[in-house]
Amino acid sequence: MTGVRETRPRAARRWAIDVRPLRVPAYRRLWLGNTVAMFGFQFTAVAVPVEMYALTRDSFWVGLLGVAAFVPLLVFGLWGGAIADARDRRAVLLGGSLLLWASTLGLLLQAVLDVRSPVLLLALMALQSVAFAISSPARSAMLPRLVPEDLVASATTLNYTTFTAASVAGPLAAGLILSASPDTTVVLPIAYGLDAVLFTAMLWAALRLPSLPPEPTADGQARRAGLASVVDGFRYLATTPVLLLSFGVDLIAMILAMPRALFPEIAHERFGGGGAVGLLYSAIAIGSMIGGLTSGWIGRLRRQGLGLVLAVVGWGLAIAAAGLAHQLWLMVVLLAVAGAADLISAVLRQSMLLVYAPDRMRGRLQGVNTVVVAGGPRLGDLRAGTMAAGFGGGVAWVAGGLASAVLVVVLAVAFPALLRYRAATASSDNRT
């Protein structure tokens, strides 16, 4: 019996998520505040496209939300990364969080006043994107200074997993709220108001963080968050083809195979609207959450480059299959499979980035990562909405998934550095 009791924990540790980073008080507060805030943010993430579709009855306008969010991400994400390397990261996170809270209050106000302006929705989404672009690189870059180096990968996985857990519960709750009444003037203020209240947890967490000023440079000079700093980050990135390729495959996957701009239309046409839209928005996150809870094996994967390529191809194929489904349960299952593949690719990509990047570059590379990770799906919204306007939602969904899988394979074969990447060689690569 003793042998059995010892074997079970060892076996569990091989696949179960590692929660040791939660023993660090500063990280635990940040994790808790971010988790609560991300749960609240899902109410807005569902409510905004639903409101836009209700106002316009056109998926093209829903896709334009992606443009409104992407342009600020492209500019302020890179600048936000430079700021995170040149300023106290706690102060940067707090400032960006306050601006993000203000944009949510703006959404609440326009819903309460029943402004009914698609252009105002686009403007508020742009402001929200600016705030996210400023705060996100600082939040990610501070991680290795909050937990011991050997727990960075575990903390990264915890962040992804709890984010996806919030992304499951949030849209489901949002779907219930939005389906409670056909009158959007009643339900939309509730959704935005809940987001505004829950986001105060992030403000609390940022206030409780220790000061995180930039580490001193070798020559003792102060770092500047200007264009030269951004260019220096790109110059460093250009020397690491594995990172460039990892960003490339993720952009292909998100731009071509992200179907979320089509969810309101498909939920309305195939499943009668109502709570179906909440299930569709939750499905990918459900798969990601399950993938994260069983992620212990990812840390032992040596051929991370090959694993990344396979995960992204699996994402595209699962998305395409989901687009062919006309039963809600089947579409949810296939989207969940895609979500599990997405979690694997995200953890592998971020692990590669943390291995390569020194602290002096970490903010700027996280800024690039913010543009890729957050901007890619928004370009995907535009692609999906535009294709749906011309060819229909079903064609836009399925064709995008298939094209994504094919192009990722072509890129990986044409530039095999990513396929050759092995985790065991990362430390030596970082020193060159």
Place of tokens 């009444």: 181
Give the pLDDT score at 300. 65
Rounded Cα–Cα distance for residues 262 and 271 (Å): 13
> What's the rounded mean pLDDT across residues 367-376?
74
Give the pLDDT score at 224. 61
Give the pLDDT score at 228. 64
Three-class SS of 1-51: CHHHHHHHHHHHHHHCCCCHHHHCHHHHHHHHHHHHHHHHHHHHHHHHHHH
Range from 97-106, 149-158, 214-223 carrying the lowest mean pLDDT? 214-223
Ranges of H-type helices in 328-358: 328-356
Give the pLDDT score at 431. 32
Whether residue 94 has pLDDT greater than 80: yes
Rounded Cα–Cα distance for residues 113 and 34 (Å): 29
3-state secondary structure of 272: coil
Question: Is the model more confident about 258 or about 239?
Answer: 258
Domain 226-423 has CATH 3.40.50.300: no
Confidence of residue 41 (pLDDT cuts 50, 70, 90): very high
Give the pLDDT score at 324. 93
What residues contact residue 117 under an 8 Å CB cut-off, 6+ apart?
Answer: 55, 110
Report how far Cα 115 is from the mean position of its chain's Cα atoms.
Answer: 30
Whether residue 79 has pLDDT greater than 70: yes
- Residues 107, 48 contacting (CB under 8 angstroms): yes
If you average pLDDT over each of 178-187, 273-282, 392-401, 418-427, which comes out highest? Answer: 392-401
Rounded Cα–Cα distance for residues 374 and 12 (Å): 33
Give the pLDDT score at 24. 92
For residue 166, the surrounding DSSP H or E stretch is helix 152-178
> What's the rounded mean pLDDT across residues 416-431?
62
Q: What does the angle CA 258 – CA 357 – CA 299 come to, to the nearest 5 degrees?
A: 65
Give the pLDDT score at 204. 95
Segments making up each domain of the chain, as ranges: 22-213, 226-423
- Residues 205, 33 contacting (CB under 8 angstroms): yes
Confidence of residue 8 (pLDDT cuts 50, 70, 90): very low
- 177 to each of 33, 192, 246, 253, how far by Cα in Å? 23, 11, 38, 31
Give the pLDDT score at 229. 67
Place of tokens 């957050």: 374
Range from 198-212, 262-276, 298-312, 418-432 carrying the lowest mean pLDDT? 418-432
Chain mean pLDDT for the chain: 83
Does the global pTM surpass 0.75?
no
Ranges of H-type helices in 142-151: 143-146
Range from 48-57, 115-124, 300-309 carrying the lowest mean pLDDT? 300-309
- Residues 58, 226 contacting (CB under 8 angstroms): no
Q: 22-213 and 226-423 share one CATH topology?
A: yes
Question: Is the model more confident about 316 or about 303?
Answer: 316
For residue 87, what is the DSSP state? S
> What's the rounded mean pLDDT across residues 70-88?
80
Tokens of 162: 């709890």
Tens digits of per-residue pLDDT, 250-300? 899 999 999 988 988 888 888 877 678 878 887 888 888 888 777 666 666
> What's the rounded mean pLDDT across residues 359-385?
77
Tens digits of per-residue pLDDT, 144-180? 788 887 777 778 888 888 887 887 788 888 888 888 8
- Residues 224, 368 contacting (CB under 8 angstroms): no
Rounded Cα–Cα distance for residues 303 and 280 (Å): 32
Q: Class of the 22-213 domain?
A: mainly alpha
Rounded Cα–Cα distance for residues 273 and 276 (Å): 6
